[in-house]
Structure 1
Amino acid sequence: MNRKNLISAAFFLLLLTATIVVIFQGNDMNTVVAAMQTLSPVYLVAAALTALFFTSAEGIMIWYLLDSLEGKTPLFSCIKYSFVGFFYSGITPSATGGQPMQLYYMQKEGHKVSDSSVVLMTVAVVYKLVLALMGVAILLFYRTQLMGYLGNYIYLYYLGLFLNTALVVILLFVMISPRCFKSLVLGGEAVLKKLHILKKSGKRKEKLIEMADQYHEAVVFLIGHKNKIAFVLILTFIQRCSVFFMTWLIYKGMGLTGESVLSIMILQASVYIAVDMLPLPGAQGITEIMYKASFGQVFKGALLPASMCLTRGLNFYFLLIVSAVTAMYCHFSVRRKGLKGSWRSEEAKS
């Protein structure tokens, strides 16, 4: 493990420790564990399956778009890419590591970089767009109630909504502007050359320009097939709602009543909107703080940290473990294929 990875791992563990402190501060651990045990096993399984669907849904979208551009694409491989993206997004600030690693494995398994880039960009834009639209709708129809639940943390919600909206605008501009995308690609190469990470190469520049042109062609194809974009929008909305619905499953599984499924889902959505763009790996710490602020009037006493452990444990840490196993599988799979390729080339030479 190199120095950069060690620093990232240490920072992640530091945040994890701080998160545990936030969760159990002022609470007796035995009481919290006892409160967690009140959750019905049926609801626990349902919540876990909902969490798995949340990540798998991205893979279905990748498969649907990639299949439109390149033809037959295995669904399992695309679901695998979504879990890889979740893992690297979870351990890097602002989820910046997810898409580059997805692109890496997609390219290693024979997908064109231009097509993969368009697919991942489309999924990312729609993902952020749906969250931003949900955030605006909550402000229009649920603002008074939201302020009552969040209190002073409402400003963090405003910040998160602004950052998500700004990112959607930037990504859309990059997607529809071939000049902008080409400038970004060539500008990135120039920066890497100045940092002596890449050597000067005329052939590489030609390949990058060719890739940018292919990228634009793929964007034009998707724009011309609005039904495909509509499918991704609908599935993304369902995907987003699934992770919010999971919190209601925890609520009902603990035998609680009084709050509607819509109220629970809106409160969970407000947590996601507030922390989604913050530069912390997995939004650790701040997510728990926002959860306490949002659900303090819903879960009473030890049920609040207990529900937070269950909800956060399923929609992040459980998925992170599954994703880590998937990422390891992808790593060794690609490495094994590389070794087989080198053996075959050696045999051909001999």
Structure 2
Amino acid sequence: MKENLSSSSVWSSIGQKLHKNKKNLISVLLFLLLAALTFSAICKGNDMTEVAKAVRKMDVWYLFGAMGVGIFFVSAEGLMICYLLRALGNPIAAGRCIKYSFIGFFYSGITPSATGGQPMQLYHMKKDGLKISESTVVLMTVAVLYKFVLVVIGLFMLLFGYHPLKNYLGSYMWLFYLGLLLNTVLVIFLLIVMFGPKLFHNIVTGVERFCVRFHLLKHSEERIEKLFGFEEKYRETVQFFAGHKGKIVAVTLFTVLQRCSVFFLTYLVYLGFHLKGTDALTVMMLQASVYIAVDMLPLPGAQGITELMYKSIFAGVFPGTFLTASMCVSRGINFYFLLITSAILTVIVYILERKCSRKKPAETAEYN
């Protein structure tokens, strides 16, 4: 009987791994397909030799500045995670939290609607010994503020820059409205989940029942007790942040800086091509409109639609060949460069974790 049970568990484990690998493979293939189609669309109708010449003429200091801003954009999330975890009494190093932000960026970039980022961050935080309840609240707080700031920026643009925004966006204005609406709905939902104990309880128990019903998990009273304990710790953490509004205000202001930094990146590219005539606020507003429009679309990295919107919206800002050249540089830095950097760091983390897991059994054997 024991042999049958162990054999069943082994095959179940193998099946779960194959299913997980299959999902990851599909995500990667979809990402590569979209990347290939996007690259093909960029090349079509453009003299890429001239585009390459324009890119080579870009001031290298502005290029490095834009890359630095891109690194700051991702790292800033890690600094916010670090600040909130320390507020909860976790003496964690900033570098470790920045690691979480790069891992999150990588998995968000290759999964539809950026759904893979936070689960992987939570996984690595758990491996580092952090409490799941606290980690969950911290990540949700960062996500809510991230989306909230984007919604506020979008509403600010509609109130104080509607006519120029409409002129630049043209036929893409409906996509901007859709992106703003979806982000607003998500912010409201996350806030309800965070501050609605009953809804959170229903979600947690509902997921557990679903997993048991479809034989993804076996019924376990011990697990149910742990879930209730998790809920209690989760509520305590939410109440802590609700009682320390100053810390939330600080993180919100830093999120505004983080958000604006990636919009400013495009203006650095504009200056790098020695162009004049368009002010920083206009360039940042247009880049923000692209982010708002594509942020919630179910495409890995919002590939394709981002490039199409950019070429349409920035046609009046970057003349001639500079339009495609600027798109290649700005999009290359704020997504592909950061994605490759995040992928390298993720692989390094994986290798180091594997080495540590191999050393631990050896050390345990020595003591035995």
Question: Which amino acid is 2:98 matched to?
Answer: I
Are residue 153 (structure 1) and residue 172 (structure 2) matched? yes
Q: 2:312 aligns with which of 270, 293, 299?
A: 293
Are residue 205 (structure 1) and residue 227 (structure 2) matched? no
Q: Report 1:255-294 matches (<5 A).
A: 255-294=274-313
Q: Deviation per CA, 1:200-239, whole angstroms, max 9, x where unpaired?
A: 2111111111011101100100110111101110100000
Are residue 118 (structure 1) and residue 137 (structure 2) matched? yes
The answer to whether the 8 A contact 1:105-1:330 is kept is no
Give the SS at the match of 1:296: helix
Structure 1: runs of 5 or more not aligned? none
CA RMSD, Structure 1 to Structure 2 (Å): 1.2
Q: 1:48 aligns with which of 61, 67, 80?
A: 67
Partner of 2:258: 239
Partner of 1:105: 124
Q: Report 1:47-196 matches (<5 A).
A: 47-196=66-215
Partner of 1:221: 240
Larger radius of gyration: 2
Q: Could you tell me how far 1:312 is from its partner in structure 2?
A: 0.4
* Deviates most, 182-191 or 255-264: 182-191
Q: Could you tell me how far 1:288 is from its partner in structure 2?
A: 0.5
Partner of 1:252: 271
Question: Which amino acid is 1:91 matched to?
Answer: I
Q: Scaled by the length of structure 2, what TM-score is found?
A: 0.93
Q: 2:29 aligns with which of 4, 7, 10?
A: 10
Q: 1:312 aligns with which of 331, 349, 360?
A: 331
Question: Which amino acid is 1:137 matched to?
Answer: F
* Deviates most, 185-194 or 251-260: 185-194
Question: Which amino acid is 1:161 matched to?
Answer: L
Q: Could you tell me how far 1:165 is from its partner in structure 2?
A: 0.4
Runs of 4+ that moved beyond 6 A: none
Q: 2:346 aligns with which of 319, 327, 339?
A: 327
The answer to whether the 8 A contact 1:24-1:305 is kept is no
Q: Could you tell me how far 1:332 is from its partner in structure 2?
A: 2.3
Instruction: Write the distance in 2 (CA, Å) between the matches of 1:208 and 1:335.
Output: 29
Q: Could you tell me how far 1:294 is from its partner in structure 2?
A: 1.3
Q: Deviation per CA, 1:263-312, whole angstroms, max 9, x where unpaired?
A: 00000000000000000001011110111121011111111111000000
Question: Which amino acid is 1:70 matched to?
Answer: G
Question: Which amino acid is 2:29 matched to?
Answer: A
Question: Which amino acid is 1:314 matched to?
Answer: I
Structure 2: runs of 5 or more not aligned? 1-17
Q: Deviation per CA, 1:94-123, whole angstroms, max 9, x where unpaired?
A: 000000000000000010000000100000
Instruction: Write the distance in 1 (CA, Å) between the matches of 2:54 and 2:60.
Output: 13
Q: Could you tell me how far 1:347 is from its partner in structure 2?
A: 4.1
Instruction: Write the distance in 2 (CA, Å) between the matches of 1:99 and 1:116.
Output: 10
Q: Could you tell me how far 1:335 is from its partner in structure 2?
A: 2.6
Q: Could you tell me how far 1:38 is from its partner in structure 2?
A: 1.7
